[in-house]
Amino acid sequence: MQVSTVAPTQPRTLQLAQKRILVLGSALHTQSVDAFAWNDLPGYLNVGDYDVIILNLVSFLEQQSNFGIRAERLPTWQQIARLLFSPNSEVICIGLPGVDANNSLYQSTSWWLPVTPEFVFNSGEVIRNIKPEFAYYFEHVRRWFFYATPSFKSHFMGLAGYLRVVHPWANNLQVGMGAIAHTRFNQAIAFKLIFRAGYVDRSRALPARRGKDAGVEPLLTSGVAVWLPPPTEISADEAISLILRERYRRSVDVATPEWVATYQLPQQQAIAAQVNERQKEIERLQQEIALAQKQLEATTSLNRLLYEQNQEALTLIVCDALRELGAQVSDAKIGADSTSSGGIMHLTDPSGREGMLLVKTRAGELPLNDLRQLDQYVRDLMLNQNWRGKGILIANTYYTHPPEQRNEPFPSNCIRAAQQLFGYCLVTTTQLFQAIATHQRKELGSREFWNAIFEVNGVCPLPELSAQEVSNS
């Protein structure tokens, strides 16, 4: 596996607002950047979703020692490798390099790099040749603790294994290293790295070709890796906030201390009181809205008088409508053994008049057999219990059509039987719906409605549904 150097170049820039940024090692408060402490990384985290990663290695060992870091939650070197070799990516690292014997999670804090320069641990205060793009950062660095030389050591898993992750054919790596700041002896204390993965077919390489890059077929160029020394005048969290603001134009919210709440200006107190009153008013209105919503749902259920096809469901809705008009409605029983009536309901109107109610749904006109079913029950009740009352049949016919497009609901034989033989009242659910609407407008009295039911044999004389009239009400 070959490693050589290339001149570093600047990556293509994305619009700053389009970059997705991840900070590891600092739980900063910002809406535009995802940031997590090392000991609190979410299980769903995938660094491949981001364009920029900022690594706080200053806090890495501290958080591992004090809180414990779950190794399975840390981004793998494979994830960071794929990110680093994606277009326009950046990985910025703040901290000290090198191996820590107490760090059992990785061999070194440079686990994310394919190769690392040789680090010399020394210290000093003279810092020169600072690149303008990081001048703001070095205003807070008064001492350096290491410098780097362009002598590279391969990744701890081996360079061949690393390159296979970023490209299946890669077997050659070229490295570009550019200093960001120097010691007085021109040693790099901060630097950029750019990598180019390539392929060399050694079986076809010609000895006559010269040059260190001879026979290298470039495959993939990385983004930029930046290594900065730890700040000495501010904390690492403050330094990361500075980078986010200056380099990426992202603001970081400063956490408000709890003790600040005890200091309030008079206008602040007055406005807070207004907010509290408005909040109470909102809560009261929300309760009223919830109650009104329940009432609306109950009232809206009566619309099913117009389209309900299930006979049992329609019977319940009809009973609710008749109760709104003042009736008492319950299941009807026959005989001493209280055998169920099979869907026929017993009702009593506000004047005490009794009736037996049968509700039917039909896709077409009402057949005579439906009226016979009601008559059979009423006659059995008269014979067994000497009952006297009115037979009432309420039907939803032609239920798939709008009310104004429906044919006559009751055939002539049903009408004659109801008028001349049985003395029953035939009502449509559309008439009942219209009656409810008129009653709610206080234009139809309860007594008027029930007289139309109990005093008429045949078709109920109540008006049919008028869509325009109901809507205007």
Residue 226 structure tokens: 């930046």
The answer, yes or no, to whether residue 338 has pLDDT greater than 70, is no
What local confidence, expressed as pLDDT, does residue 360 receive?
A: 95
The answer, yes or no, to whether residue 123 has pLDDT greater than 70, is yes
Indicate the burial class of 105 (C-beta count within 10 angstroms; 0-12, 13-18, 19 or more): middle
What local confidence, expressed as pLDDT, does residue 156 receive?
A: 77
User: Mean of the per-residue pLDDT values for the chain?
Assistant: 85
**Which residues are paired to 41 by β-bridges?**
none
Amino acid letter, 302: L
Q: How far apart are the first and last CA of the chain?
A: 86
Mean pLDDT of 188-195: 94
| Euclidean distance between CA atoms 153 and 132, whole angstroms | 29
| Euclidean distance between CA atoms 161 and 167, whole angstroms | 10
Q: Under DSSP, is residue 214 helix (H, G, I), strand (E, B) or coil?
A: coil
* Model confidence pLDDT, tens digit, residues 156-190: 778 888 889 888 888 888 999 999 999 999 999 99
Range from 58-62, 324-328, 413-417, 424-428 carrying the lowest mean pLDDT: 58-62
| Euclidean distance between CA atoms 131 and 133, whole angstroms | 6
Range from 31-40, 196-205, 276-285, 324-333 carrying the lowest mean pLDDT: 196-205
Mean pLDDT of 435-458: 92
256 versus 378: the higher-pLDDT residue is 378
pLDDT grade for 10, boundaries at 50, 70 and 90: very low
| Euclidean distance between CA atoms 151 and 177, whole angstroms | 10
| Euclidean distance between CA atoms 35 and 350, whole angstroms | 71
Collect contacts of 72-79 with beta carbons under 8 A, ≥24 apart.
Answer: 73/41, 73/42, 73/43, 73/45, 74/38, 74/41, 74/105, 75/24, 75/41, 75/45, 75/47, 75/112, 77/106, 77/111, 77/112, 77/155, 77/157, 77/162, 78/165, 79/46, 79/47, 79/48
* Percentage of the chain exceeding pLDDT 70: 84
Residue (of 329, 332, 309) closest to 319 by Cα position: 329
Residue (of 424, 425, 354, 363) closest to 399 by Cα position: 363
What local confidence, expressed as pLDDT, does residue 194 receive?
A: 95
Tell me the HSE value of 249 on the side-chain side, using a 13 A CA sphere. Answer: 6
Query: What are the C-alpha distances in Å from 44 to residues 40, 68, 105, 111, 291?
Result: 12, 19, 19, 21, 41
Residues sharing a CB contact under 8 Å with residue 362, sequence separation 6 or more, in sequence order: 370, 395, 396, 397, 398, 399
Mean pLDDT of 22-40: 85
**Which residues are paired to 55 by β-bridges?**
24, 93
| Euclidean distance between CA atoms 414 and 431, whole angstroms | 18
Mean pLDDT of 135-158: 91
| Euclidean distance between CA atoms 106 and 113, whole angstroms | 12
Contact between 23 and 51 (Cβ < 8 Å)? no
The answer, yes or no, to whether residue 88 has pLDDT greater than 70, is yes
The answer, yes or no, to whether residue 257 has pLDDT greater than 90, is no
What local confidence, expressed as pLDDT, does residue 58 receive?
A: 87
Residues sharing a CB contact under 8 Å with residue 247, sequence separation 6 or more, in sequence order: 133
Q: Are strands 339-348 and 328-334 parallel, antiparallel or unpaired?
A: antiparallel
